[in-house]
């Protein structure tokens, strides 16, 4: 692939980071497309005006992030498709600052899950609705086992929401939603724990039953309210 001015010589900033940023921008701009072979280390070093070691380190970072892949005897290529590891650095950053980002995370989760619900309402198949009913029944059974059964209730809660996400038949939305759920793992677990220990397990179940019924009936009214009731933000304040 010819450079054609795609990459500029580096004058400042971290050399490796600038190479990473430049290659990423080229992919976003469409100058490099999924499946494209990128220039060789030597060609990139010449284009950027930096040493080959810096190019090699930048490529290692992009391979780790799931942006590039190295094929032996062929070269380095832009990955064809989304890899969750691309978002991992953001997840780690959020985890380190969770207490300060609580409200922002709750707003993000609500926005994602409302969108996921709208997709599920429009696109679900009957067999998937039956599957969701089974997941809801499992959640009820786990809640009935008592307040000490937090871990299993949390797992059942997760499976229920994952099933709703899959019913939207949009793999990109599903993957991003899964990332958001990872980010909010701690607060969601605290919410379930506090609901069970305060004797509100039935309320927790009923909130999820409402979600099931809305999907079944094709009812997309008041989704923000109903989604919010499944995780009780006031019960999960971060310490």
CATH number at residue 179: 1.20.120.530
Token digits for 218?
């094709």
Q: What is the pLDDT of residue 136?
A: 97
Same domain for 58 and 154?
A: no
Q: What is the pLDDT of residue 41?
A: 93
Q: Averaged over 196-206, what is the pLDDT?
A: 93
What domain count does the chain have? 2
Q: What is the pLDDT of residue 237?
A: 42
Same domain for 77 and 177?
A: no
Same domain for 129 and 52?
A: no
Same domain for 115 and 219?
A: yes
* Contacts (Cβ under 8 Å, ≥6 apart) of 18: 10, 48
Bridge partners for 70 per DSSP: 76
Q: Is 166 a member of any domain?
A: yes
CB 223 within 8 A of CB 114: yes
C-alpha to C-alpha distances, 118 to 131, 152, 181, nearest whole angstrom: 18, 27, 17
| Full-model pTM | 0.66
Token digits for 198?
């305060």
Q: Is 96 a member of any domain?
A: yes
Q: What is the pLDDT of residue 235?
A: 44
Q: What domain range is 31 assigned to?
A: 15-81
Tens of pLDDT along 2-40?
555 666 655 545 889 889 889 988 888 888 898 999 999
Q: What is the pLDDT of residue 10?
A: 52
């Amino acid at each position: 692939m010819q450079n054609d001015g795609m990459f500029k010589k580096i004058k400042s900033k971290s050399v490796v980071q600038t190479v990473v940023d430049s290659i990423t921008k080229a992919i976003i701009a469409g100058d490099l497309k999924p499946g494209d072979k990128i220039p060789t280390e030597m060609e990139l070093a010449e284009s950027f005006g930096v040493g080959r070691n810096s190019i090699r380190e930048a490529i290692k970072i992009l391979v780790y992030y799931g942006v590039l892949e190295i094929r032996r005897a062929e070269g380095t290529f832009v990955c064809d498709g989304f890899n969750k590891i691309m978002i991992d650095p953001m997840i780690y950053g959020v985890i380190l600052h969770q207490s300060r980002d609580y409200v922002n995370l709750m707003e993000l989760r609500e926005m994602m899950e409302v969108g996921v619900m709208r997709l599920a309402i429009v696109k679900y198949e009957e067999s998937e609705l039956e599957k969701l009913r089974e997941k809801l029944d499992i959640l009820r059974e786990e809640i009935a086992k008592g307040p000490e059964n937090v871990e299993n209730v949390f797992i059942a809660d997760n499976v229920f929401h994952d099933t709703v996400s899959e019913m939207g038949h949009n793999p990109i939305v599903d993957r991003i939603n899964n990332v958001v759920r990872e980010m909010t793992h701690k607060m969601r677990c605290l919410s379930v724990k506090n609901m069970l220990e305060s004797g509100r397990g039935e309320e927790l179940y009923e909130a999820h039953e409402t979600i099931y019924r809305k999907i079944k009936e094709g009812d997309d009214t008041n989704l923000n309210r109903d989604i919010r009731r499944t995780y009780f933000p006031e019960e999960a304040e971060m310490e």
